Amino acid sequence: MVLKWAGKDRKRMRRRAIPKCAHHHPSWVFAWLWILTLAACLDAAQCMTQREKTDLKNEAEDLFYHGYNSYMKYAFPEDELRPVSCTPLTRDRANPAHIEVNDVLGNYSLTLVDSLSTLAILASEPSSGRTNRHLEAFQNGVQELVIQYGDGTDGPAGQGLRERGFNLDSKVQVFETVIRGLGGLLSAHLFAVGDLPIRGYNPPSGGAIFARKWDKSSAESHESGIKWPNGMIYDGQLLRLAYDLGNRLIPAFYTSTGIPYPRVNLRDGVPFYEKSPLNFDPEAGQCDAGQQGTPEVTETCSAGAGSLVLEMTVLSRLTADDRFEELAKRAFWAIWNRRSAIGLIGTGIDAENGNWVGSYSGIGAGIDSFFEYAFKSYILLSNNVHPEYRVPKHAKDPRELFPALAAEEASPAGFLRVWSEAHSALKRHLYRGKTYQHPHYIQGDLHTGATRAYWIDSLSSFYPGLLTLAGEIDEAIEIQLLTTALWTRFSALPERWNLGTGSIEGGLGWWGGRPEFIESNYYLYQATRDPWYLHVAEMALRDIKRRCWTRCGWAGIQDVRTGELSDRMESFFLSETAKYLFLLFDESHPLNQLDGPFVFNTEGHPLIIPPNVGTRRQLRATSEGDVLKQQGGFGVCPRAPPSLPFSASITAARDDVFHAAVLARLHLMPSRGSTDSFVGEYAVDHPSISLQDIRSPSNYTYFPWTLPPELVSHNATSAPLLSRPSFDISFPALPNMGTPVAPLQRVKEGILINHIGGLRLGMVQDVPILMNGGSGEAYRINLVNNLALGKDEKTRTLHVFGM
């Protein structure tokens, strides 16, 4: 491994750094020279020099271009690439029920749209020669998209080779289309006009102002957009295409609940949802035609319905059409206002009646980005700048079905309050702390908080990044340690893994190139500058290159245990996974230095509301300060934890690192010799593969496997593994002395015990209490027979002897 050799080289360099004449000085000089040399090494984020970070950044760049260039060569203008067979992946029109493909692939060159913001970010990287080839790639990508789908106008230029805008017969998922399509177009537009930074790209102010201007009817004849070297004049084409796409999503919001339908046809709207007010309006002569054929699924998820605010707010602010922003906000609040009595939200919800479907709650699939958008909406909206809104005549407007949003529902403070309350509820009911081997979150009951399952999924690995953004650094580090141990064990993150058995849950062992673990690692490095996270990112980069490379791109892993590949390169691999790897190793990138309320959406697209879109309007019902006072804080992020003396990494020096390894069963993995990768034959002349990438780690003593030995203290110790005190109380079986009755009955506040014969009560010590001026934990009943109870559930006894 390169870093091990580099570490040895640095040791030799340190020895040579001591002058030969040093032996003539007293012994204390040796000690001070050694200490100063060691301190200098540690201060420079030891074990990862600037040269090494630059090399890794270049590798991340090559990783992106290998995937992007392969897509453009073998799959464009279709949606995605099959990297094993070197062919396009398109909608499965023969099987409309194939939603894993059809929900995402809208037939609008998805991978190109999803890659534009990454191309713009790479454009800040200087390239050799007089031209910036990265900037050219971004501008050429925009030009290719406009050629295919037009420039968004009503005239001849609005007709592309494939279609006029997104007038496509494609039934897609609203959520995926918003975060990938709408988010990608808006982010690329913000880069194109200079509202998001590209180093060295300074469009002329006149051209930029014209390109930003939504209503160009009053523009002078001599005004034009930004002239690019490829011959294109950028005048807002991407924004107009985004507006076209946004309008095609509006019909999905015609529901009685404010929760959008999960799917929409980009050309025809929602004719398949018969109860939509668009299709059933007796006053307008539309009658209920009755159910025709198989009913359309109306179940959506909390993440899908509640994670639209960022993209649709930016669209509203840039186009002065407030429908998108208000509809997205209404959907967010429609989810939150249906939270359970203990403050949890569920995974599935019916868009037509607003009822929860199932009773699972957690932080992963189906829920994840709702929490993300609660906090990020607070950031994005914090400058509170609004244009003068003018809704176009004859535009579809589902807002007519509802009263206006309350002031808090439109304000940044409202979203901050939701995040604060949601995090508190999750921490109380679903968080398992240090006495459960290592901190983690479980799947709980929506209404009671009782444990429903012990698996964690790959999507939940976004949560440490969100915690970091919100200033919850220590909790973020704890949770990230476990996912890092899991990645080390499997050289990827399986889709679902069981905490109890230590095995992959339900055969869900694939990794499709998901970015969430790498995304959290990026945020933690930005917040702490701990070199540990550089080496975690290096591990992920090495493992991806070793396991996922194909001649035509990057494949997903169908089974992380066997290494079997899947023939699909998801668009998010280029929009997120490669992007976060690149940004982590490029500390000086303009985005990493940007001091402003910008956010990455859940597809990795940077978004910001430019200050030039309008004037401030006061929408706050309560100020952010009031919300923060209720939280007991003042909105100041904590300082990064200081490194221990003579330690470069606070994470490597933690005494619970081994606890995470134990929970992941990392210490039980057998040592294995170096295994050559099948890509070795391409390593010599292929820029995306280097020789150090083709061997797997040889042992699991420490994690990540790229961690240099210098980062681990020679006398490091682990804190004892804590076990939570628990015991059972069992009652003997009693003869039936009356009418048979069920021994247990669930009531509103918990469990009603009808008789105690044969009853078993499980007791666990995990309820915080105050005692003798300090704090401690009391016992509670967490199990009645085989029925799990939540922390706030009660047990009551009605019939003691069954009479």
Every domain of the chain and the residues it spans: 1-43, 106-280+295-453+608-630, 726-797
Q: Do the Cβ atoms of 734 and 773 come closer than 8 Å?
A: no
**CA-CA distances (angstroms) from residue 489 to 191, 672, 773?**
39, 12, 44
Q: What is the pLDDT of residue 36?
A: 43
Query: What would the two tokens of residue 663 be?
Result: 């929970």
* Active-site annotation, residues: 176, 368, 495, 516
Q: What is the pLDDT of residue 726?
A: 78
**Spatial CA neighbour of 300 closest among 181, 397, 174:** 174
Q: Can you state the angle between helices 133-149 and 237-249, rounded to 10 degrees?
A: 50
Q: What is the pLDDT of residue 746?
A: 76
Q: What is the pLDDT of residue 700?
A: 62
**Spatial CA neighbour of 517 closest among 491, 547, 499:** 491
The rounded distance, in Å, linking the Cα atoms of 649 and 531 is 6
Q: What is the pTM of this model?
A: 0.87
* Residues of the chain under the 50 pLDDT cut: 1-38, 40-45, 618-622, 628-634, 675-676, 678-685, 687, 691, 694, 696, 698, 800-803
Which class is domain 106-280+295-453+608-630? Answer: mainly alpha
How far is the first Cα of the chain from the last one, in angstroms, to the nearest whole number?
73
Q: What is the pLDDT of residue 762?
A: 83
Q: Annotated binding residue at 602?
A: yes
- Residue 50: how many CB atoms within 10 A of its CB? 10
Q: What is the pLDDT of residue 766?
A: 77
Residues in the chain: 803
